[in-house]
Structure 1
């Protein structure tokens, strides 16, 4: 139960919630914190903040204070790799990554959770690379007093997630093998530019390139090179070139000959429509089309971190990248701090 009283009649009672003070360009925060025992000396300050009345709270059976509710729902939302460590303020809790990795959000369950109205959770985009200590979400109970049955229902929805609503998956360090295909490069007709591009992308996520092979448009040679690299211990195989509809582009056919499975070719992302993902003897294989030479960011940059986080990419995953999959080719690229891939 919430009772409204004149501030003079609240003297001697603890504040039910933080009283916020805003000084333009200087300060925004609590002038008085929840639990502060009000005294006569506080009255003038409260009046300057526009407060003539305050709440006195006497929670009834079946009601929870906003801060208590926030702790319960935060615990229900957090999975592996995320947590909270600061006391709730005004019913709000910040949720942070406890390790480096890839943020995963169960968006469907999050939407259902937010459908209650009296509770909320705002997150960063799923599949965002984060560092330990980064804020990944914030949750709060919105009313000062909230019905316990609503909190229980929201918790039940959060717990219905197959894994967790929020988690951060560590990414393994790549030991990459790189196959650069194309007879024009193999026979020295043109200079290769792809190797430096791939090395930069691999090392940016703390991986290393173990081996690089240059190959002509020959199914058998490409297949044998791919199998050799897998036998040498690479844990991700990256191929460049040979991905278009040209009859001389043989890479994906060669990988099939080598035994690659679950070959997914084609994506609804520009640049990167001719991207390929598959697996060879359990090692993920990513095929970058020629656009990777001149476009800083392509479909590869959206899928590669997910591979390192252990995702098993499906056709449904590929299809979902179409929403937000148009790169605007900005003069100064700000990826990942832009709309591409989100």
Structure 2
């Protein structure tokens, strides 16, 4: 790269053609006529020929150097993994967007390796955030007007070794809800609506909502019935996670299941518990009212539907698990955006009734 000045009206304008502007060119009114980063070409000659006395700050690129837009375009292409789509570079940077709804995964080590090579800059949303179609998930640019192509080649090689930014799509699952806490009719309808809205937002199918007695035999019958019909995930409310003799845990043990953990490292909703019956994960909360709120259960559900093993998913909630204050909303599924997941289609509405 070579930097130089060219004073308009004093030196031939031909000497500027093909060079890159290092600073904005402003007219008499102070407004930018041409922006920095512009590669000067014939279409700019007319504007420049009227600006006598203006000093152009120019960059001449070497044969092995790239302009900002090309760097940005190639960088987002290099980091793009499944579930993402690179955008067109503009004004020196480019963005990466989600192509489907899911959990954002970032290879933080690879990202750090890229950003340890200035002037390359790649920036992303936090790993583990829930994103929807067309959300911006990453961006890239160069902090210089001339960048070594070799540095970009290295990032492209890194991207070929494994995805740096990807969106893990939510899998469609058949989900049953079991409630042992009693509700009035109006409350039952509202809770069923809230549960269905969340499950269908993830693209899964709500196959049943059962309101049963908080007794071991009743819970055992329900667990057996739901696993026999092939549900793939159960949500349970009404058990006391502090009581190992609770009817829910006794019933889980009676059918050969297990309780993996009580409590998850996130607040609100830290008393979520996790179990398994006949290979089917069970995610539990103390009261069904929690289904209508944004809690740790929403984050755990997202990770499980994205393919994480439930107990491992719970372990990872601690980083970013303080979910209070205005900024906490960014971590929860945006249930008010997008409706039923278009990638998965509308799920079948399930009847609500006592069993």
> What's the TM-score, normalizing by structure 2?
0.75
Give, in angstroms, the shift of residue 10 of structure 1.
7.2
Query: How has the CA–CA distance of structure 1 residues 264 and 35 changed in structure 2, closer, same or farther, with 3 Å as cutoff?
Result: farther
- 1:211-266 per-position Cα deviation (integer Å, ceiling 9, x unaligned): 12223333343233123212223232111120321355332443344344682332
Distance in 2 (alpha carbons) for counterparts of 1:195 and 1:328: 26
* Cα distance change on mapping 1:262 and 1:250 into 2, 3 Å: closer
SS in 1 for 2:20: coil
Contact 1:266–1:273 (CA under 8 A) maintained in structure 2:
yes
Q: Which residue of 1 is the match for residue 301 of structure 2? A: 304
1:276 equivalent to 2:270? Answer: no
What is the Cα deviation at residue 167 of structure 1?
1.3
CA–CA distance in 1 between the matches of 2:210 and 2:288? 20
Alignment partners' CA distance in 1, 2:252 and 2:221: 9
Distance, in Å, in 1 between the alignment partners of 2:291 and 2:214 is 21
1:59 equivalent among 58, 62, 76: 62
Unaligned runs of 5+ in 2: 334-355
Q: Residues 114 and 4 (structure 1 numbering): CA distance in 2 closer, same or farther, change over 3 Å?
A: same
TM-superposed CA distance for 1:29, in Å, is 10
CA–CA distance in structure 1, aligned partners of residues 45 and 193 of structure 2:
68
Post-superposition Cα deviations, 1:158-217, rounded to whole Å, max 9, x if no partner, equal 4454xx1111222234432011125xx39x9xx768545423422343444211222333
Aligned to 1:176: 175
RMSD: 3.7
Work out which of the residue numbers 26, 34, 39 in structure 2 matches 1:34: 39
Q: Which gives a bigger RCO, structure 1 or 2 (Cα 8 Å, sep 6+)? A: 2
Q: For each residue in 1:25-54, what CA deviation from the matched residue of structure 2 results, as whole angstroms up to 9, or x when unmatched? A: xx999658435334253255698xxx7232
Matching residue within 319, 340, 345 for 1:323: 319
CA shift, 1:78, in A, is 0.5
Residue deviations 1:62-89, cap 9 Å, x none?
A: x333333333322220011112142x23
Q: Quick check: 164-173 or 198-207, which moved more?
A: 198-207
Q: Give me the whole-angstrom Cα distance separating, in 1, the residues matched to 2:252 and 2:26.
A: 63
Equivalents in 2 of 1:160, 1:124: separation in Å? Answer: 21
Deviates more, 1:72-81 or 1:282-291: 282-291
Secondary structure in 2 matching 1:336: helix
Q: In 2, Cα distance between the equivalents of 1:281 and 1:45?
A: 79
Q: Give the direction of change, closer, same or farther, for the CA distance of 1:43–1:129 in structure 2 (3 Å limit).
A: farther
Q: Secondary structure at 2:104's aligned position in 1?
A: strand
SS in 2 for 1:286: strand
Q: What aligned pairs does 1:101-140 form with structure 2 within 5 A after superposition?
A: 101-140=102-141
What TM-score results when the alignment is normalised by the length of structure 1?
Answer: 0.77
Aligned residues: 321
Check whether the contact 1:101–1:168 (CA below 8 A) recurs between aligned residues: yes
1:5–1:31 CA distance, 2 compared to 1 (3 A):
closer
* Preserved contact between residue 129 and residue 330 of structure 2 (Cα < 8 Å): no
- Assess if the C-alpha contact under 8 Å between 2:2 and 2:61 holds in 1: yes
